Amino acid sequence: MTVLTQSRKPRFAAETMTPYTFITPAILVILGGLLYPVFMAFYLSFYDWEIGRDLAKAPFMGVDNFVRMVQDPQVWEVLWVTLRFGFWTITIEMTLGVALALLLEKPIRGASFFRTIFILPLMVSPVVVGLIWRYLFDARIGWINYYLGAFFGIEPQVWLGDADLAFFAIVFTDIWQWTPFIFIIVIAGLQALPSEVVEASTIDGANWYQQVFLVKLPMIKSILVIALLMRLIDVFRGLEVMLIMTGGGPGRATELLSLHIYNRAFDTQQLGYASAISVLLILIVFAISTAILTMANPMKSKSDV
Amino acid sequence: MSGVSLQNVTKSYGSLTVIPDLSLDIAEGEFVVFVGPSGCGKSTTLRMIAGLEKVSGGQIFIGGRDVTWERPKSRDIAMVFQSYALYPHMNVADNMSFALRLAGTPKSEINERVRRAADMLELTDYLHRKPRDLSGGQRQRVAMGRSIVRDAYCFLFDEPLSNLDAKLRASMRTELALLHKQLERTMVYVTHDQIEAMTMADRIVIMKDGVIQQVGTPKDVYNTPVNTFVATFIGSPSMTLLPGELSEQSGSMRIHGSGFELPIPDRLKSRAGASPTKAVTMGMRPEHFAAEARTEAFAPVNLEVKVAEYIGSSQFLAANLGGQDVTAAVEVGPEADLLGDGQYYFDTSRLYLFDRETGQAL
């Protein structure tokens, strides 16, 4: 192969350029859409800039923004909120998603109907999800208070006005929207498992639990890792639902890191400082992703099945 | 009785009947091979013995115990699959010991059994490798090791050699036969490859459309096939079938058809004479053709050779006999060129006769 390409010298420069013309658009998109913003975030984090001011005239701050960030209790507070939010949502979503996938894996009657129902939340735009649940959780006119009162006699709660309840509400909403994502990925993985291996474990005497935990789940490990990774990144990225449901409040009880960055950048016009926090976010996501991929690299084990 | 016994087993999926009614007794320690074209129900039968498929009717006994409604794990069976079905996330030792670990066997015993099986299969150096780091033949041996370690009463094989290349398949055949000798366990083996069946089986079960056509030793099914299906399925290249008429002239029975007139061998004379019909099908195995007459039973036939294939010790001829296609495998010496048209000889003592209407052997 290599010998062939080496021995045949290209006659026209245009010919050698042909492959590059095909990948140029992709490179441009990556450069313009991914690398440029990341670079600008780094760049801006060294300046004190606000919208409307000429970037060239923005005062250079050195590492002041970063020093300020490390000492800023608000940043640590929202980081803690984000980690707690990530822990609860991802733990519950993974558990529920995998459990549902295992239940609906077999072609039982109505399985395809339930599968479609389960993935409906995925099709709703996050902004709309925020609006729907804001009204459902509404203290006065919300369905949740109404039905809790009607069936369980529970007093109306100010869901989005209490720090703990509001946190519960956004966790609940996130689980509602994103469990289907885990479900659909895991069920695809389970159905791609070679049936003979599962049958072999039946003959080896594995019961249902042993089959799930010793054979099926280990075999779709790479799929689980990818799902986990995507959810983790989403946790650090997503802000629409919180922005609309609670705006981050009460206090900073539901203010995730990305929402905090948004508020800093556009409410208080501290774009340089917001960029510095963005850099922190990028580093955290990068560190977590690297850690997960090192522990369980899905690319490495693709020849497993 | 012990061994494996199927009694009036049926299987249908909805209105589609795959196995109409199947009964078979397999003796303890016997190596039985189910063979037939794809879709003949041989794999379904094996999976019903394994308990992976529920029977629609009838009973299955393993080791004298009615296991018809038992789950696979309580049937005392081990199974080897075509795709090996190894657990990709476990190393070879863990793959082999999985069943024992689930059963809570003491660790020392597990290690001992795994070691012994690995020795037997020459896998000792690979015990800590993952299946993906093994070759096809090694994976196949691990799959067998998994069964051996279990020391089950009955071993089931579902086309275990089909994914291997021809050379490896031949050597694994020998290993399997050896394994059967060492373990002395009842083995039920499914394949579509009649050579595997012929080389390994104590008895062959030939199936078609869910119905057993013939059960017999390799010698039986080769020499006395009960019908044209078995006759053409067993043997390679397959037997040629030609229409012919029986006639009797001055006390000697003959068969004649387009381009041939051959004497009926003694072993078939009485049955041919008793045949209600004179319209029969004659079967000629390719290997019973020869370039010269070796005994008196050899009768001349004129073959118009279309293609001659050089095999080494013999040549396969795709030829024309009186307007019909026949296949001949003619032994040749080292100097022979590709054979051409001419007179060849057929060993009429090995001729087969079938009722043309029913296809049953006379």
- Specify whether B165 is located in the same domain as B96: yes
What domains are defined for chain A?
Answer: 19-295 (1.10.3720.10)
> What backbone phi and psi angles, to 5 degrees, belong to B185?
-100, 160
Residue-level pLDDT at A3: 46
Structure tokens belonging to residue B175: 């290993």
Average predicted confidence (pLDDT) for chain B: 90
B249 shares its domain with B131: no
Last residue of a domain, one of B233, B266, B288: B233
* pLDDT of B326 strictly over 70: yes
Who among A200, A204, A305 is closest to B102 (CB)? A204
pLDDT of res. B238? 92
Domain identity same for B72 and B201:
yes
**Which one of A200, A219, A301 has the shortest CB-CB distance to B79?**
A200
Among B190, B210, B233, the domain boundary falls at: B233
Residue of B nearest to A220 (CA): B89
> In this structure, are B208 and B246 located in the same domain?
no
Q: Which two tokens stand for residue A128?
A: 């709309």
Confidence of residue A14 (pLDDT cuts 50, 70, 90): low
Among the residue ranges A117-121, A150-154, A258-262, B127-131, the one predicted with the least confidence is A150-154
pLDDT at B48: 94
Domain presence at residue B196: yes
- Check residue A31 and give its pLDDT: 87
Rama region for B87: left / alpha / beta (φ>0; ψ in -120 to 50; rest): beta
Residues B152 and B219 in one domain: yes
The residue of A198, A203, A221, A299 whose CB has the most chain B CBs within 10 angstroms, and thus the best one to mutate to test that interface, is A203
Q: Give me the sheet containing B65-66, strands edge to edge.
A: B16-26, B4-13, B57-62, B65-66
pLDDT at residue number B129? 92
Q: List CB contacts (< 8 A) between A193 and chain B.
A: none
pLDDT digits (tens, 9 = 90+) for B241-291: 999 998 887 778 888 888 888 888 888 888 877 777 788 999 999 999 998
pLDDT for the residue B34: 95
pLDDT of residue A2 exceeding 50: no
Instruction: State pLDDT tens for residues A37-92.
Output: 888 888 888 887 777 777 777 777 777 778 888 888 888 888 898 889 999 999 99
Q: Give chain B's domain count.
A: 2
Residue % of chain B over a pLDDT of 70: 100
In percent, how much of chain A has pLDDT > 90?
Answer: 15
- Tell me the CATH number at B307: 2.40.50.140
- The reply to whether B265 and B200 lie within a common domain is no
Asked if the model's pLDDT at residue A11 lies above 70, the reply is: no
What are the pLDDT digits (tens) for A125-143?
Answer: 888 888 888 888 887 888 8
Residue B200: inside a domain: yes
Considering only CB atoms, B102 lies closest to which of A205, A221, A303, namely A205
B33 in any annotated domain = yes
φ/ψ (deg, to 5) at B332: -135, 155
Confidence of residue B209 (pLDDT cuts 50, 70, 90): very high
> Mean pLDDT, to the nearest integer, of B166-170?
86
Residue B327 pLDDT class (50, 70, 90 cuts): very high
Could you list the residue range(s) of the whole structural domain that residue B145 is in? 4-233
Q: How confident is the model at residue B50 (pLDDT cuts 50, 70, 90)?
A: very high
CA–CA gap between residue B172 and residue B139 (Å, rounded):
12
Q: Order the strands of the B211-216 sheet from edge to edge.
A: B77-80, B154-158, B186-191, B31-35, B203-208, B211-216
Determine the pLDDT at residue A13.
Answer: 65
> Are B223 and B254 found together in one domain?
no
Q: Are residues B13 and B119 in the same domain?
A: yes
Contact of B27 with B201, CB cutoff 8 Å: no
* Prediction pTM value: 0.80
Q: Could you count the other beta carbons within 10 Å of the beta carbon of residue B156?
A: 26
Q: How far is A90 from A101, CA to CA, in rounded Å?
A: 16
Residue B362 lies in a domain: no
B230 pLDDT band, cuts 50/70/90, is very high
Q: Which residues of B touch A304 (CB under 8 A)?
A: 88-89, 130, 132
B16 domain-assigned: yes
Chain A contacts of B132, Cβ < 8 Å? 303-304
Separation in Å, CA of A79 to nearest CA in chain B: 36
Tokens for A286, please give them.
């990068």
Strand order from edge to edge, sheet including B289-290:
B289-290, B342-347, B298-310, B314-321, B324-331
Q: Same domain, yes or no, for B165 and B288?
A: no
Find all residues with CB under 8 Å of B59, minimum gap 6, and list them: B6, B7, B8, B9, B66, B68
Residue B361 domain-assigned? no
Q: What digits encode the pLDDT tens for the residues A174-218?
A: 999 899 999 989 998 998 899 899 999 999 988 889 999 999 999
Q: Do A201 and B87 touch (CB under 8 A)?
A: yes
Closest-CA distance, A152 to chain B, in angstroms, reads: 45
Q: Which amino acid is at B325?
A: D
Domain end point (choices B212, B233, B254):
B233
Q: Does the CB of A192 have a partner CB in chain B at under 8 Å?
A: no
**For residue B231, what pLDDT is reported?**
93
Instruction: Tell me the per-residue pLDDT of B295-311, one tens digit each, with 9 for 90 and over.
Output: 888 999 999 999 999 88
Residue whose C-alpha is closest to residue B57's, from B89, B29, B20, B83: B20
* Number of cross-chain residue pairs from A and B with Cβ atoms under 8 Å apart: 66
Q: Which residues of A touch B87 (CB under 8 A)?
A: 197, 200-201, 215, 218-219
Tell me whether residue B87 is in a domain.
yes
Q: What is the pLDDT of residues B338-355, one digit of tens each?
A: 888 889 999 999 999 999
A111: left (phi over 0), alpha (psi -120 to 50) or beta: alpha
CATH (domain of B218): 3.40.50.300
Among the partner-chain residues B52, B81, B103, the one whose CB lies closest to the CB of A205 is B103
DSSP 3-state assignment of A106? coil
- Comparing CB atoms, the residue among B73, B82, B103 nearest residue A203 is B73
* Model confidence band, residue A295 (pLDDT cutoffs 50, 70, 90): confident
Same domain? B207 vs B307: no
Considering the domain architecture, whether residues B208 and B283 belong to the same structural domain is answered as no
Nearest Cα of chain A lies from the Cα of B98 at a distance, in angstroms, of: 7
- In this predicted structure, what is the pLDDT of residue A305? 41
Residues B228 and B86 in one domain: yes
Q: Is residue B360 part of a domain?
A: no
Task: Give the 3-state secondary structure of residue B193.
Answer: coil
